[in-house]
Amino acid sequence: MAEIVTPIITPFTKDNKVDKEILKSHAENLVRKGIDVLFVNGTTGLGPSLTPEEKLENLKVIYDVTDKVIFQVGSLNIDDAIKLATLSKDYDIVGIASYAPYYYPRLPEKHLIKYFKTLCEKSPHPVYLYNYPAATGKDIDGKIAKEIGCISGVKDTNDNLIHSLDYKRFNPNMIVYNGSDMLIATAISTGLNGSVTAASNYLPEVTLTIKKLASEKRIDEAIKIQFVLD
């Protein structure tokens, strides 16, 4: 069954602290509406801007609501990513995720592969690749993911569905989510495992309806509703 994954927002108080009360309330509402999985510390959740302590606090708050969580731990500092991954051992979650190390444009592919292999070795949970080339400058495609050899799933933030489907070509058992709000219906109808959609933060019912229709192969109806998001 396809899934709608919400990259949950990180609310802040006026004094620039994570607002744990609002975060928990929002998570409860999403789960109550029927959202399948919460993606914590993603781009929508300001993940790259959060401290390691804030990232872990977000996990603690949301885990009180649901264990259907993918915990994003990515960092330019592999030790920080490993530490967060290790600390997540106390939480029975779906998995951890990481984006590719960014900023250094000429970073050799072998170092990207080593980053994820190291994270896999240290993680107590399945590791998901968060592929967002427009933000990181690094495109870890299906071929590279296969070479890494330990990636359980991927969030592919990409408007090219062929790119997302390519992960399945190299590893048919890989869980693949497309990360574009504009492609929920088509992503599901083409056989991907679902969509990580920022719009599900504020229109969960709409995204879940699109999922239902697309899963039932009622594509014309799903696309009409998709236009609400587009």
Is-contact 124 85, C-beta < 8 A?
yes
User: Which residues, including other chains, have CB under 8 Å from residue 161's CB and lie 6 or more apart?
Assistant: 178, 183, 186, 187, 190, 192
Amino acid at 188: I
User: What local confidence, expressed as pLDDT, does residue 228 receive?
Assistant: 83
Is-contact 224 208, C-beta < 8 A?
no
Nearest CA to 137 among 157, 165, 167, 163? 157
**Alpha carbon 154 to chain centroid distance?**
7
DSSP-assigned states of every residue in 140-180: --HHHHHHH--EEEEEE--S-HHHHHHHHHH-TTSEEEE--
Domain residue spans in the chain? 3-229
Domain 3-229, CATH among 1.10.1660.10, 3.30.300.30, 3.20.20.70, 3.40.50.150: 3.20.20.70
Question: Which segments in the chain show pLDDT lower than 50?
Answer: none
Q: How would you write 12-52 as a 3-class SS string?
A: ECCCCCECHHHHHHHHHHHHHHCCCEEEECCCCCCHHHCCH
Q: Vertex 178, ends 225 and 117: CA angle to 5°?
A: 165
Quickly count: other Cβ atoms within 10 Å of residue 32's Cβ: 10
Region for 19 from its dihedrals, namely left if φ exceeds 0, alpha if ψ lies in -120 to 50, beta otherwise: beta
User: Which residues, including other chains, have CB under 8 Å from residue 199's CB and lie 6 or more apart?
Assistant: 181, 206, 207, 229
Q: Which residues are known catalytic residues?
A: 155
First-to-last alpha carbon distance for the chain, in angstroms, is: 24
